[in-house]
Structure 1
Amino acid sequence: MLNTYLAASTAPSVEQPTQLQPYGLPTYVTASDAIADFRGDDQIYVLYPRKIERAARTFVSGFPGEVMYAVKANPHPSLLKILWDEGVRDFDVASIREIELVRDLLPAAKLFLMHPIKSRATIARAYELGVRDFSFDHADEVQKILDSTEDATDLSLHLRLALPKGDAVMPLSGKFGADYDTAVSLLISARAVAAKLGICFHVGSQCLAINNYDRAIAFARRVVDAAGVKVDSIDVGGGFPVAYPEMPIPPMSDYFDAIGQSVKAHGFDAIAVYGEPGRALCAEGGSTLTRVELRKGSDLYLNDGTYGSLFDAGQFGWKFPVKLLRNRPPAPCANTIGFRFFGPTCDSSDTMIGPFHLPADTCEGDWIEVGHLGAYGQALATQFNGFHSQHTVILLDD
């Protein structure tokens, strides 16, 4: 829907951002325009509305159920507004701050507090702000929900299942979820106090094996049958992947088809179905523009790093797409080499092995656009050592 906010697109002067500023952010056509206009010393965070719109349309039109955005992936208000404009109406929130952010920004949104373990204050504030959907994986958590809502009779409770370790790049099986026997018992007891009862799980972040969803849905079926209770919804969680360098993925339509077929095959097609995309909705719609402060051989020292938006590049060794941006002559050379990155802090762990392939003559003063950081990039950035950025821009270039 971005074209409803913009007149015919013409390149803005590099001296000033365009006056058309959808979602309240400085707006440029290209990253080079944004860099030329920048007078600060920090990294620049970028949102690409058209990419976010496309991702949202893919899910809203193709996912076989309701799309519930996982706010933790990127809670930027402008991004949330873009998703809303493209038809996303449900939001997975985990804290008082996320609840208040979305409720203030999008009053009509439906909020789901799908964090299985919450403080009593969080539960009470959520209920006060209209949240009725809560997840749990333990009997004590159900009691906390009842206590904190004064034994409300309009609750939708979603039991989080523990799944065996799957094939996701980042497994999420170790912290939350009830095992088979516990899950059966919890479904029976929760049915007596819940206006609506659901079952949910998470196959792991960046799930590359589509059949993991069928295995999880089949497991959910066994748990429900053993409990002998009626459930009103199934939430297949997140895990929908993005194509990073050296990490190709199947088409998203293959995931949707497989989930739809599995839901039907296991008898859940007559109830509400939810999915919780986070990364897949926003990763490609964001990037970071970071400046080279010094080069030592094949090592580049940047003004962003693992304590900023490049956490995954340092902590997990993920490779992100990179592009050199130079607003001065000479043009970058054609041949490339693999670089290692270091962030700006004093901590030696602020290291990103890569390798990140850039022109061999990359040097101090050059800028690098690191792509696919719309998810878990800006959201994980800290203010450690005083290095952080509050500057986000919109780029119209696709």
Structure 2
Amino acid sequence: MDVITSAAELLRRRRPERPVLALRPHAAHRAAKWFIANFPGRVLYAAKANDAPQLVDALVEAGISAFDVASLVEIERIAPIQGAELYFMNPVKSRGAIVRAHRDFGVKHFAFDSEEELDKIVEETGGAGNLTLFLRIACPNTHSLIPLEGKFGASPEEAPALLLRARQIARRLGITFHVGSQAVVPVAFGEALKQVGQLIVSSGVLVDAIDIGGGFPSRYPHSDPPELVSFMDEVVRAADELAVRHSCELLCEPGRALVAEAESVIVRVDARRGNALYINDGAFGTLFDAAYSGFRFPARLVSISRRKSKPVAEFALYGPTCDSSDYLPGPFVLPASVREGDYIEIGQIGAYGRVLANRFNGYGEYDEVILTDEPMLSMYATPEEQAQPALKSTA
């Protein structure tokens, strides 16, 4: 894979026909280093967020050795990494996936949120005595842009009995929750940890681990959350109030926060109709969240000439498929002069972009490059780093 300085340098070399996934492994590496240094416990990477080998390698090089996996496919992909420890945290798994995860890949960390799921895990692991079981509890998602509540999680009424039964089975017992994706208020974690503390007291069951899940945010034009250190301060404050704090391991499962800014997509404008641009990637590609989750991504014209780029205007985008829902309302702020044949770099698609892309209408094929410049937006880069035109890649 080519390693170049920027999207502009790519266009100096060639004019790609397909959209281009532009990876920045150094950004993922830096994010992982920050989390490992600042989270008061163990950091798992949520493998569902991005499976690009270059980014996973960068996370491992930074010190990530544990992974939240949600399927057998993810287990098969991550298991070959030397020293990888896998946490099968999907609360509903097939019996076959449980068998293979435990028998073939040595997985011993499992999540559950019902008596039926707990029964499945016990039965399909043969009553193994070396399991770490995490009870997934329901918690409010009021502080996140993408709520995840409703599908998973034991209710406050169900949780005490489930915790007591699992305590009798598990070698190690944990509680886990998820505050929702792109949580923008630190107190989301404090409120959930308070709920965990109340559950421990009401059930009378001591736990060995608390997994606070993912939800840590990245920066977008429509969502500029507080600095991540404020989230860590809230986690430390709330965890210190737990009766089991000094005997209990803390874990987290960042996905978006580790890889969102580590990948962008470079697209071509195939038509302009007023303030609507028709581009060669879209809702059925890496820009799903722009169409269906209301996300606005940073965008910039990739210029290799001295063409003036001001004034700017707000644009909506259409993807390349024949489906009218392939529409990205944005708005995307770009030079008013943008026209057919121009290329645009759309940033912050490293979280869930490539893994949601499909082949509808024959699209969904990409070229790939590694860029060594800085992301358009960053939770981690210093102002000096953001001002630098290029950085040495970790790849």
- Taking structure 1 as the reference length, the TM-score comes to 0.91
- Contact residue 25 and residue 54 of structure 2 kept, 8 A: no
Distance 2:260 2:226 in 1: 16
- Contact residue 326 and residue 332 of structure 1 kept, 8 A: no
Q: Secondary structure at the match of 1:284?
A: helix
- Contact residue 301 and residue 342 of structure 1 kept, 8 A: yes
Post-superposition CA distance 1:93-149 (Å, at most 9, x none) = 011110010112x13111100000001111111112011100000001011111211
Q: 2:334 aligns with which of 355, 358, 365?
A: 358
1:240 corresponds in structure 2 to 216
Q: 1:313 aligns with which of 282, 290, 294?
A: 290
- Contact residue 234 and residue 268 of structure 1 kept, 8 A: no
Residue pairs, 1:163-202, within 5 angstroms: 163-202=139-178
Question: Which 10-residue stretch deviates more, 354-363 or 33-42?
Answer: 33-42
Residues 315/145 of structure 1: CA separation in 2 closer, same or farther (3 Å cut): same
Q: Secondary structure at the match of 1:247?
A: coil
**AA paired with 2:90?**
H
Distance 2:250 2:319 in 1: 42
Tell me if 1:388 matches 2:349.
Answer: no
Q: Secondary structure at the match of 2:261?
A: coil
- Contact residue 135 and residue 175 of structure 2 kept, 8 A: yes
Tell me if 1:111 matches 2:86.
Answer: yes
CA positional deviation for 1:392: 1.9
Runs of at least 4 residues off by over 4 Å: none
CA positional deviation for 1:342: 0.2
2:44 corresponds in structure 1 to 68
Residue pairs, 1:1-398, within 5 angstroms: 25-38=1-14, 40-104=16-80, 106-127=81-102, 128-270=104-246, 271-327=248-304, 329=305, 331-398=307-374
Distance 1:205 1:87 in 2: 24
Question: Which 10-residue stretch deviates more, 345-354 or 259-268?
Answer: 259-268
- Contact residue 314 and residue 333 of structure 2 kept, 8 A: yes
Q: Secondary structure at the match of 2:206?
A: coil
- Contact residue 135 and residue 159 of structure 1 kept, 8 A: yes
Post-superposition CA distance 1:156-188 (Å, at most 9, x none) = 000000013421111111110000121101001
Residues 352/207 of structure 1: CA separation in 2 closer, same or farther (3 Å cut): same
Distance 1:274 1:332 in 2: 49
CA positional deviation for 1:153: 1.0
CA positional deviation for 1:233: 0.1
- Contact residue 120 and residue 148 of structure 1 kept, 8 A: yes
Question: Which 10-residue stretch deviates more, 58-67 or 261-270?
Answer: 261-270
Distance 1:228 1:267 in 2: 11
Distance 1:195 1:305 in 2: 47
Post-superposition CA distance 1:49-92 (Å, at most 9, x none) = 22112211110100111101101111111111100000111110
CA positional deviation for 1:326: 3.0
CA positional deviation for 1:389: 2.1
| Runs of 5+ consecutive residues of structure 1 not aligned to the other structure | 1-24
- Contact residue 108 and residue 130 of structure 2 kept, 8 A: yes
1:11 corresponds in structure 2 to none
Distance 2:130 2:333 in 1: 55
Post-superposition CA distance 1:214-257 (Å, at most 9, x none) = 11111111111222122110001111011110311111111111
Distance 1:194 1:52 in 2: 34
**AA paired with 2:296?**
K
Distance 1:152 1:391 in 2: 45
Question: Which 10-residue stretch deviates more, 387-396 or 205-214?
Answer: 387-396
Work out the percentage of aligned pairs sharing the same amino acid: 41
Distance 2:372 2:256 in 1: 21
**AA paired with 2:301?**
L
Distance 1:332 1:276 in 2: 44
CA positional deviation for 1:333: 2.6
> What's the C-alpha RMSD, in Å, of the aligned pairs?
1.2
- Taking structure 2 as the reference length, the TM-score comes to 0.92
Distance 2:43 2:345 in 1: 30
| Runs of 5+ consecutive residues of structure 2 not aligned to the other structure | 375-395
Post-superposition CA distance 1:333-368 (Å, at most 9, x none) = 310111110000000000001111111110111110
Q: Secondary structure at the match of 2:313?
A: strand
CA positional deviation for 1:39: 6.1
Distance 2:17 2:126 in 1: 51
Residues 253/370 of structure 1: CA separation in 2 closer, same or farther (3 Å cut): same
Paired residues in the alignment total 372
- Contact residue 332 and residue 362 of structure 1 kept, 8 A: no
